Amino acid sequence: MLAIRSELARDSGSSERVRLARELRDVSKQWSSALAPMDRVRLARNPARPQTLDYVGLLIRDFIEIHGDRRFADDPAIVAGLGYFGTRPVAIVGHQRGHSTSERLRRNFGKPHPEGYRKAARLYLLAHRFGLPLITFVDTQGAEPGVGAEERGQAEAIAANLELMARLETPVITCIIGEGGSGGALALAVANVVLIQENACYSVITPEGCAAILFRSAGPEKVDDVARVLRLSAADLKALGVVDEIVTEPAGGAHMDPQAAARELGAVLRRSLARMDRMTPQALRRSREAKFAAMGSPYLLDDCLENRRLPG
């Protein structure tokens, strides 16, 4: 793949370029479909992958970061702010894992504390009050398993965000750009449209955590098995109805060409936003509620469907 890519960079003949580009895409597709689920998780965790602030830099103009939860602290694991997406002002919230070791430490590897969710909630309310579309980026292994996070009520902080996001009367789009892990991810992901990048994943628990619970001693092969049955790849999640659309990545993954990855993501975001343009604020809320009310329903063995009533 690298060979084709470098050839592509050198070569200038246009018909040759087209041929090489096609070849690159095919090879990349083969490579991607051959990935074992756990390799996919590792790819999603690759620190070189573009993160929230990278996409903000490439897609959002005049971004102004908003800090703090006005209760306790500013959580660097979640970034939030306002800016222009094209010509539209939008609210942005996303996990930020960090690229360098020092940034990763400072940002707690993107694992939020309760104050992170509460900062996010402030942005959700701003978006709701001022009719701004809300765009969130999900990229976290999950909530911080720590004493302070428990003392300050991370369960309640996540729960409150789920309800709040469901109620927002403004367009909400989520893109899972890396690893979407458990409640720490979902607290940013109750959206009208949930996008996932080709090599990202989304799960109720990390494969490692799942294996540790199911098997007392969780060796790497158990983790591989669990990653397989958790069905956490983009294609699996689409089939389950958990995500709406898969956003393609450049050959080899988003980190190979962040600009191209951002272009692709930007195009899908624009299209998704445009689709919600004509919906009333109430309809936006109603359709989001209905979407989540239907999660998993196709798998219910249910004799009493006449009892069914969507909330509201």
Partner 1 sequence: MAPDEKSLHDNDKSGRDSVTADPQTREDAGESSADIWVKCPACKEVAFRKEVERNLNVCTRCGFHFRLSVEQRLAVTADRGSWRELLADVAIGDPLGFIDSRPYPMRLAEARRSTGRNDAVVVGLARIVGRRVALGVMDFDFMGGSMGTVVGEKLARLFAKALHEGLPVVVFSASGGARMQEGALSLMQMAKVAAAIGRLRDARLPYISVLCDPTTGGVAASFATLGDLNLAEPGALVGFAGRRVIEQTTNRQLPDDFQRAEFLLNHGMIDAIVERRAMRSTLAQLLAMLTAGGRAPGRRGRSAKAR
- Binding residues vs partner 1 (CB under 8 A): 142-147, 149-156, 158-160, 162-167, 182-183, 186, 189-190, 202-205, 209-210, 213-216, 225-226, 229-232, 237, 240, 242, 288-289, 292-293, 295-297, 299-304, 307-312
Closest CA to 284 of 133, 138, 176, 162: 133
User: Would you say 6 or 282 has its CB closer to partner 1?
Assistant: 282
User: Alpha helices, DSSP H only, in 219-257?
Assistant: 220-229, 234-240
Whole-number Cα distances in Å, 236 to 109, 142, 202, 233, 241:
26, 20, 10, 5, 9
- Please answer whether residues 203 and 181 qualify as being in contact, where contact means their C-beta atoms are separated by less than 8 angstroms: yes
H or E segment and range at residue 136: strand 134-140
Taking the least distance from each CB to partner 1, the nearer of 34 and 147 is 147
Q: Would you say 143 or 262 has its CB closer to partner 1?
A: 143
What Å distances lie between residue 174 and 86, 180, 213, 220, CA to CA?
17, 11, 29, 31
From the CB of 121, what's the least distance to partner 1, in Å? 13
> Closest distance between partner 1 and the C-beta of residue 167, in Å?
5
Q: For the residues of 151-203, what is the DSSP string, one character each?
A: HTTHHHHHHHHHHHHHH-SS-EEEEEEEEEEHHHHHTT---SEEEEETT-EEE
Q: Which is nearer to partner 1, 126 or 159 (CB)?
A: 159
Closest separation in Å from C-beta 159 to partner 1: 5
Which of residues 17 and 167 has its CB atom nearest to partner 1 in the complex? Answer: 167
Residue 120 CB neighbour total at 10 angstroms = 28
Distance of CA 91 to the CA centre of its chain: 15
Q: Name the minimum Å distance from CB 118 to partner 1.
A: 14
The least CB distance from residue 229 to partner 1, in Å, is 5
Of residues 35 and 166, the one with the C-beta less far from partner 1? 166
Instruction: Give me the sign of the Cα torsion angle 241, 243, 248, 253.
Output: negative
If the CB atoms of residues 159 and 260 are measured against partner 1, the closer one turns out to be 159
Which residues, listed in sequence order, are joined to residue 92 by a DSSP beta bridge?
A: 81, 135
Q: Which is nearer to partner 1, 56 or 189 (CB)?
A: 189
